[in-house]
Amino acid sequence: MKELFTIIAFSENHIGLLNRITIIFTRRHINIESLTVSSTEVKGIHRFNIVVYETREQVEKVVAQIEKVSEVMRAEYYTNDEVVSREIALYKIPLKTAIEENLEQLLREYDARMVDVQSDFVVIEKTGHVEDTEKIYDLLEPFGILQFVRSGSIPITKQRKELSTYLNELPRDEYA
């Protein structure tokens, strides 16, 4: 049975690593729903957050393949119940329609906010689950959305073991 999984891989920041990781998904015909890469709390270590809708068996195989990439220190997968995740969405709306309609009340009701106001447009930010950002999109569509972008899922695991603990467990020649 397919379900949403979040795959998290820790690595050093090397040119071409993103390509080597995403090609693992391509070879298995797995579509990536969301992908974010960022630095971590450990200097020099980066984190890939990859969300896929797939079977557990396929995800286990993909994670095993990712761990074989030499720059990857650790890769794991989590179900939605094992992570706290959010995304940020930005919407660019014409200023004229934002003024004419009651945009401010809508933003308050859905816990969104204006982050920039220019002479001809406003930029609105909404942080939340995918369903939250999609709901705001639907509500803002009649205003005339000029641009829309989402960050992709940004997850934090619920487990108590931190990255620095994992790195300390690795043999010293694998992380130095």
| 104 — pLDDT class (breaks 50, 70, 90) | confident
The pTM assigned to this predicted structure is: 0.84
DSSP annotation of 162 reads -
Residue 171 clears pLDDT 70, i.e. is over it: no
List, for residues 119-131, the tens digit of each pLDDT value: 999 999 999 999 9
- Say which residue, 158 or 175, is predicted with more confidence: 158
Mean pLDDT of the region 45-67? 96
Say whether 11 sits in a helix, a strand or coil.
strand
| pLDDT in the model for residue 170 | 66
Amino acid at 15: I
| pLDDT in the model for residue 101 | 79
Pairing of strands 83-94, 45-54: unpaired
Q: Which residues pair with 90 in a beta bridge?
A: 125, 149
- Per the rule left: phi > 0, alpha: psi between -120 and 50, beta: everything else, 144 is left
Give just the sign of the alpha carbon dihedral 88, 111, 106, 109.
positive
10 Å CB burial of residue 57 (0-12, 13-18, 19+) is: exposed
